[in-house]
């Protein structure tokens, strides 16, 4: 069993070998190399063209994806589960679709081919990786040991090799359709490297009076009918999200800190700090570089929070963000910069609005007096500050150095001492009250031990139960009563309008579990309790707008604006076309346009001075020779005519031609693979039952 255990322990490496043009894992579930027990449900989670994928297979695939993602990013948090769910879902669908195509094409792998890929002169990469010898060949004795002592897993290995080879044949068949001609290579090189010096006349659409480009109801509706694809929308839902944070209790914090007491003693005595961190399971590896407070990030408070760090000082453990942090200061040296940690309270007041600024200043003077009288700056920032990013953190802006804040704010913060409250200070964002929390002009080399800090199981269970009790209440009460109940239980409620295709949500971030619920949700539905990275969440659907084209009345204003812009462009197009009939010379004067000179190229983004990027114009001039003139070219905000002064053709060497051909070939292969798979999906019948089957 030792060989197969090694295979399981290194699943990520095998998985990587199986990922090719389609970006999908094909065979692991079929051959059973990585069976995972403990699926939480039975039933058909996914149905592809009538073929069912049960909960056990889906759970196995999710576990494989989790393992692979963890190997790619060991520091990933709990949100990794959402990514694994989506990858498993997409991968299993692709498996079924492509497997059916391989059957249709009659692609098979003989026993002789499998034997050759295991024992032959050119073995499969997995054989070389897991049964290779020091001479670059295969250790046949180890292979034979597996075959005789563990025949079941040897058969599984053969099936894995067979499936992998079958896929390789299919990939070769699909990619054999790809060709890159010499003309394509030449054109691609010219698009990237050729430059054209031009004289340009531009005429802005904005110069047309509104009265000359009026769009009536009929014209607006005609534009809407012609551009309906632009107004398509996904299924849209208005939802109420009720959540409770996974916040640690005071007891959790006390217990977690106490659990590190012995480790702190050992850290003090350690002579090899790098080895100590590795052996202690620190989530932060040893970093021998000197670091500023800004580079230390959320750990900076533990190092610099109490003033100048002392060499040999062991600090913590303390809670910093999501981590328990403990560290030892190994060395300290002066920094060329000064760093400040500050909190602020912002009241928005537009520049130039003297009344609003005076009112904001007066209010902040009152708050300043409250703080000086003993009130908590942090608590007031949460209540009052209009900076949503920092208000939830009690106004904390973290550590920053010179040149990172707007001038007046930076000057006030840098001049203050730790603990001092300064302001009100005016900036373009409004009026600020600033509290300096820490300040230093040093940097330190630190051995940092970090451990992700989570509430204990009892605390999490209590939070989940609290939300569960509310969920039952919410199911039988109206929204107003439910909101009152949520507030009394210390729950947070927000309302959002979302689509069923969203992958990330305001205040929550990426959540495959929420997306899965929304895809099948109807008005009045209430989700199960969703276990997210930092909170438990229940979602209630208030109303649903089905997918389709947004009605004209809903987009009337947007349609009218676009139609009006098109009408103005048409006016300028006719004007420029008529004037161009008399030749390019004097064109700008005849139309009242602007004449500019520009060297256009793909590298410059076809940037036209005073007008910005104009890719349509760039496409029109490329290929022209000196003295030639384009016709009238419409841009997004104007019309243009260009005359070529000179054209520079870059020299295409054989080496460049080969490089470009390889790049285009790889690009085309990827595109055809994606289109092939998308084509299969477009014609397939796919049912996603995960939300109803999995609990």
Tens-digit pLDDT profile for residues 538-550? 999 999 999 999 9
Asked if pLDDT for residue 36 goes beyond 60, the answer is: no
pLDDT at 477: 64
What CATH number belongs to 195-231+553-648? 3.10.50
CB 81 within 8 A of CB 516: no
**C-alpha to C-alpha distance for 132 and 139, rounded to whole angstroms:** 6
- How many residues are listed for the chain in this entry? 695
CB 625 within 8 A of CB 647: yes
**C-alpha to C-alpha distance for 260 and 242, rounded to whole angstroms:** 35
Q: For 25, phi and psi rounded to 5 degrees? A: -85, 135
CB 57 within 8 A of CB 32: no
Residues of the chain with CATH 3.10.50.40: 235-246+458-546, 248-454
Which of 26, 204, 4, 192 minimizes the C-alpha distance to 102?
26
pLDDT at 28: 36
**C-alpha to C-alpha distance for 121 and 590, rounded to whole angstroms:** 77
- CA distances to 205, 562, 622 from 617, rounded to whole Å, are 16, 21, 9
pLDDT at 150: 87
CATH (one of 3.10.50.40, 3.40.50.720, 3.30.450.90, 3.30.1160.10) for 248-454 = 3.10.50.40
pLDDT one-digit tens code per residue, 174-192: 888 788 888 888 877 877 7
290, exposed or middle or buried, with CB in 10 Å at 0-12, 13-18, 19+? Answer: middle
Dihedral angle sign, alpha carbons of residues 84, 85, 88, 89: negative
DSSP 417: P
Q: How many helices and strands, by DSSP H and E, does the chain display?
A: 28, 22
**C-alpha to C-alpha distance for 315 and 324, rounded to whole angstroms:** 11
**C-alpha to C-alpha distance for 448 and 317, rounded to whole angstroms:** 10
The b/e string for 345-356 (b: 16+ C-beta within 10 A; e otherwise) is bbbebeeeeeeb
Strands annotated E in 453-593: 492-499, 504-505, 509-510, 530-531, 535-545, 548-549
pLDDT at 478: 67
Q: For 347, phi and psi rounded to 5 degrees? A: -115, 120
Least confident of 212-226, 238-252, 679-693: 679-693
Q: Which residue has the higher pLDDT, 452 or 528?
A: 528
Q: Which architecture characterizes domain 235-246+458-546 according to CATH?
A: Roll (3.10)
CB 320 within 8 A of CB 399: no
Residue 237 pairs with which residues in a beta bridge? Answer: 498, 544
CB 555 within 8 A of CB 224: yes
- Whether the link from the prior residue into 317 is cis, omega within 30° of 0, is yes
Band the pLDDT of 691: cuts 50, 70, 90.
low
74, exposed or middle or buried, with CB in 10 Å at 0-12, 13-18, 19+? Answer: exposed
Mean pLDDT of the region 93-110? 91
Strand pairing of 607-608 and 612-613?
antiparallel
**C-alpha to C-alpha distance for 142 and 126, rounded to whole angstroms:** 14
pLDDT one-digit tens code per residue, 121-170: 889 988 888 888 877 788 888 888 888 988 888 898 899 899 889 988 98
Q: Which residue has the higher pLDDT, 387 or 223?
A: 223
CB 450 within 8 A of CB 301: no
Mean pLDDT of the region 75-100? 79
- Whether the link from the prior residue into 467 is cis, omega within 30° of 0, is no
């Amino acid at each position: 069993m030792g060989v197969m255990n090694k295979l399981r322990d290194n699943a990520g490496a095998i998985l990587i070998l199986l990922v090719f043009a389609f970006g999908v894992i094909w065979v692991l579930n079929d051959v059973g190399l990585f069976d995972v027990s403990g699926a939480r449900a039975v039933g058909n989670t996914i149905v592809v063209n009538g073929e069912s994928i049960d909960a056990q297979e889906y759970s196995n695939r999710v576990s494989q994806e989790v393992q692979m993602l963890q190997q790619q990013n060991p520091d990933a948090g709990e949100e990794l589960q959402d990514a694994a769910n989506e990858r498993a879902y997409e991968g299993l669908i692709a498996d079924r679709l492509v497997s059916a195509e391989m059957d249709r094409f009659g692609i098979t792998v003989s026993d002789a081919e499998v034997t050759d890929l295991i024992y032959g002169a050119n073995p499969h990469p997995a054989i070389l990786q897991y049964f290779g010898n020091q001479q670059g060949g295969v250790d046949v004795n180890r292979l034979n040991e597996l075959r005789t002592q563990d025949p079941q897993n040897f058969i599984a290995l053969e099936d894995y090799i067979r499936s992998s080879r079958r896929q390789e044949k299919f990939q070769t068949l699909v990619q054999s359709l790809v060709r890159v001609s010499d003309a394509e290579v030449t054109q691609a090189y010219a698009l990237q490297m050729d430059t054209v010096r031009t004289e340009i006349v531009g005429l802005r659409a904005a110069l047309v009076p509104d009265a000359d480009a009026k769009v009536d109801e009929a014209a607006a509706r005609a534009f809407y009918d012609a551009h309906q694809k632009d107004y398509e929308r996904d299924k849209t839902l208005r939802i109420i999200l009720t959540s409770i944070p996974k916040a640690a209790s005071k007891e959790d914090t006390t217990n977690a800190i106490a659990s590190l007491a012995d480790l702190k003693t050992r850290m003090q005595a350690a002579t090899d700090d790098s080895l100590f961190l590795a052996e202690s399971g620190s989530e932060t590896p040893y970093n021998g570089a000197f670091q500023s407070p800004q580079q230390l990030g959320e750990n900076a408070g533990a190092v610099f929070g109490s003033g100048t760090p002392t060499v040999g000082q062991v600090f913590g453990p303390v809670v910093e963000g999501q981590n328990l942090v403990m560290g030892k200061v190994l060395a300290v040296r002066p920094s060329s910069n000064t760093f400040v940690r500050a909190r602020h309270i912002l009241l928005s007041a537009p520049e130039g609005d003297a009344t609003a600024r005076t009112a904001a200043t007066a209010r902040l003077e009152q708050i300043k007096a409250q703080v000086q009288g003993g009130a908590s700056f942090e608590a007031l920032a949460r209540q009052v500050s209009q900076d949503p990013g920092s208000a939830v953190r009690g106004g904390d802006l973290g550590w920053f150095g010179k040149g990172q804040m707007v001038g007046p704010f930076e000057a006030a913060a840098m001049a203050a001492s730790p603990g001092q409250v300064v302001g009100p200070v005016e900036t373009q964002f409004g009026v600020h009250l600033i509290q300096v929390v820490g300040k230093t002009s040093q940097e330190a080399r630190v051995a940092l031990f970090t451990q992700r800090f989570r509430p204990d199981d009892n605390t999490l269970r209590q939070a989940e139960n609290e939300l569960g009790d509310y969920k039952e209440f919410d199911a039988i009460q109206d929204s107003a009563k439910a909101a009152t109940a949520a507030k009394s239980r210390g729950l947070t409620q927000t309302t959002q309008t979302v689509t069923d295709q969203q992958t990330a949500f305001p205040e929550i971030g990426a959540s495959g579990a929420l997306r899965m619920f929304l895809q099948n949700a109807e008005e009045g539905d209430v989700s199960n309790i969703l276990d997210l990275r930092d909170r438990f969440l229940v979602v209630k659907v208030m109303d649903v707008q089905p997918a389709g084209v947004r009605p004209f009345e809903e987009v009337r204003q947007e349609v009218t604006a676009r139609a009006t812009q098109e009408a103005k462009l048409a006016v300028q197009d006719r004007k420029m076309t008529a004037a161009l009939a008399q030749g390019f010379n004097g064109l700008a004067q005849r139309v009242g346009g602007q004449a500019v000179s520009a060297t256009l190229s793909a590298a410059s983004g076809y940037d036209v001075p005073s007008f910005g990027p104009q890719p349509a114009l760039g496409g029109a001039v490329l290929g022209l020779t000196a003295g030639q003139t384009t016709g009238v070219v419409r841009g997004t905000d104007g019309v243009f005519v260009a005359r070529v002064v000179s054209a520079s053709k870059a020299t295409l060497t054989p080496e460049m031609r080969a490089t470009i051909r390889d790049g285009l070939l790889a690009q085309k292969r990827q595109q055809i693979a994606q289109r092939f798979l998308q084509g299969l999906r477009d014609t397939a019948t796919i049912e996603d039952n995960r939300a109803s089957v999995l609990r």
